[in-house]
Structure 1
Amino acid sequence: MSSQDTKNAISGVLVIDKPTGMTSHDVVNIVRRGTDIRRVGHTGTLDPRASGVLVILVGPAVRLSEYISASDKRYQAIIRMGTATDTYDAEGSFTREETAIDVTEEQFEVELKKFEGEIEQIPPPYSAVKVKGRKAYEMARNGEEVELEPRMIQVHHLEILEWATPEVVVDVHCSSGTYIRSLANDLGEVLGCGAYLVGLRRTKNGRFSLRDSVPLRKLKEAFDAGDWYKYLIPAAESLTDWPFVELDPDQVETVRHGHRIKADPDTEPGMVRGISTAGELVALLNLEEGEAGDLEWQPKKVFFS
């Protein structure tokens, strides 16, 4: 097998602690150059002004992107009260006069807790959401009126970590697609003093947290040293919150060709990971009914070759 064939067979996850000041795509390009592997992608954009957990998929593992991208996220958000901006963060222009803050920690917490649960949220006008095929931020920069439809999001938990008015540090555990900038702005509205986001750090993406991450600086050093593989997490570990079925060698061969295998009659419906006896991720399988009425695992995405 050639060295390029060997590289093409590499599949896994790099969990990177992204510094502020660079885009998620910048990080993808650094990984492409460092690994000499073209097939690299991320699982959800992390704003250039934000730092923290960025999950990078390498090789065939990029096909897991849609599943990891849909995972819950966790952030530490620094919210500044007293005024507001048109971008809902520190990059924008102020839209109201700075006012004195007559809000206690207890009052803030009461209003904060009202944002927990399934709620409607309107994305910021300066966002990549498309309106009639155009990105909202491009329209906003042109001075056009941007009307965005509210979206249903899930906010699992909100907690004050640090109270140092005018700034508050809040722990946010939420569904994918939640805009922390909008949360800050909406909080300012209900508090009556205005608020905007001044700092954001993603602490968790799906099952991966900062504890699993490597600082980008250290990863670059590993690229230079040629031992970056030590940071590569097997693809099978990327969806450990999913149930799995172990496949024997014959079943692996059947599944890798896209064919169904039998499932136990009392199996719960849903998708699972198909794992080989060696612990490799073979495929994502969905439970379906066969022609004879029995239950079968249908391969949805195959990773093993």
Structure 2
Amino acid sequence: MDGILNINKPVGLTSHDVVARVRRLLRQQRVGHAGTLDPLASGVLPVCVGLATRVADYLSESGKAYQAEIVLGVETDTYDREGQVLNTQPVPDVSREQIESLLRTFIGPQLQVPPPYSAIKLQGEPAYRRARAGESLKLEARPVVIERLVLLAWEKPRLQLEIECSKGTYIRSLAHDLGQRLGCGAYLSALLRTRSGPLTLQESITLEQLDEALASGNLERYLLPLDIALQHYPALVVDAKTLQRVLHGNSFRAPGPESESLTFAPAPGRGKDGPHPGEQPQLARVCDEQGRTWALAVWKPEQRLWQPMRVFGPERGS
């Protein structure tokens, strides 16, 4: 059983809880999620099964989208409603236009400091574990891109936002930073992920629907092919002989990135012309003549060859 499930995670469960539930339902051990959602968050959680666990890292390359509610005037240690209150301040009288003007300053490439209570590893240990032990943490800022930031509603002290951003963006940090800029503090009170890469909330299913699909023998209706995680990469269509080289991990010749037959869709923050030389590796999916994806390859400019870096066969079968 190989594929991707677009699960609508409910509030209250951790991402690991969802994976454990799917493991039990499917009786599969190779199950993992792509892009962690905190327990207070709900919405799209991609769950990869079998061989699809190999593409989990690529599922959110084309970015994510959220709807968020932020409360002004209160600062917590976790940057969300579950944390301990550190400070309260009066909320200034700001108009909708003033908030929209402030939001525009957050759009584009930037460096963002993750929350101390996050899953980022420090010397092999999650930051949240060290923070819970009372350690004062200062995490390094990381490059992120906020592509779209729309004010949906503003009624003091709450505002609702619609956000499109690169993977790695912390909405809790965005809430915290907004509060800092307004001088009153803020925390994230609710979060709904409406898109993760190609997966949308409208097409997601609940754990209950997954259970029903299994009981009725309709699981295939919801199990998406692993290829969907790689569709934002250009396709290298190869013949059967070349495909055998690929499946054994050998480099091969095919049109390079400068070829007019390939179109590199830029990931968020990489510019209109895609990744610049020396900044990001240029990747392409390797497909057979029927259009099925068998590997992900990286361009080696010195040798002018493609090198398989992630192979999904031959165990995919015929």
Is TM > 0.5 for Structure 1 vs Structure 2? yes
For 1:108 and 1:90, how far apart are their aligned partners in 2? Answer: 21
- Correspondence for 2:267: none
Report SS of the residue matched to 1:301: strand
- Correspondence for 1:304: 313
The reply to whether residue 270 of structure 1 matches residue 282 of structure 2 is: yes
How big is each residue's C-alpha offset from its partner over 1:23-69, in whole Å with a ceiling of 9 and x where there is no partner? 11111122222222221111121111100111111111211122225
Report SS of the residue matched to 1:107: helix
Amino acid at match of 2:51: P
- Correspondence for 2:87: 96
After superposition, where does 1:135-174 map in structure 2 within 5 Å?
A: 135-174=126-165
Contact 1:207/1:239 (CA < 8 Å) preserved in 2?
no
Report SS of the residue matched to 1:187: helix
Q: Give the length in aligned residue pairs.
A: 293
The reply to whether residue 84 of structure 1 matches residue 75 of structure 2 is: yes
- Correspondence for 2:26: 35
For 2:103 and 2:291, how far apart are their aligned partners in 1? Answer: 43
After superposition, where does 1:190-205 map in structure 2 within 5 Å?
A: 190-205=181-196
Amino acid at match of 2:24: R
- When normalised by structure 2's length, the TM-score is 0.85
Amino acid at match of 2:186: A
- When normalised by structure 1's length, the TM-score is 0.88
- Correspondence for 1:260: 251
Contact 1:81/1:101 (CA < 8 Å) preserved in 2?
no
For 1:111 and 1:121, how far apart are their aligned partners in 2? Answer: 16
- 2:224 corresponds, among 233, 238, 242, to 233
Change (3 A) 1:149 1:238: closer
Contact 1:285/1:300 (CA < 8 Å) preserved in 2?
yes
CA RMSD, Structure 1 to Structure 2 (Å): 2.1
Change (3 A) 1:35 1:247: farther
Amino acid at match of 2:292: E
Between the aligned residues of both structures, percent identity stands at 44
- CA shift for structure 1 position 100: 4.2
Contact 2:91/2:157 (CA < 8 Å) preserved in 1?
no
Change (3 A) 1:105 1:230: same
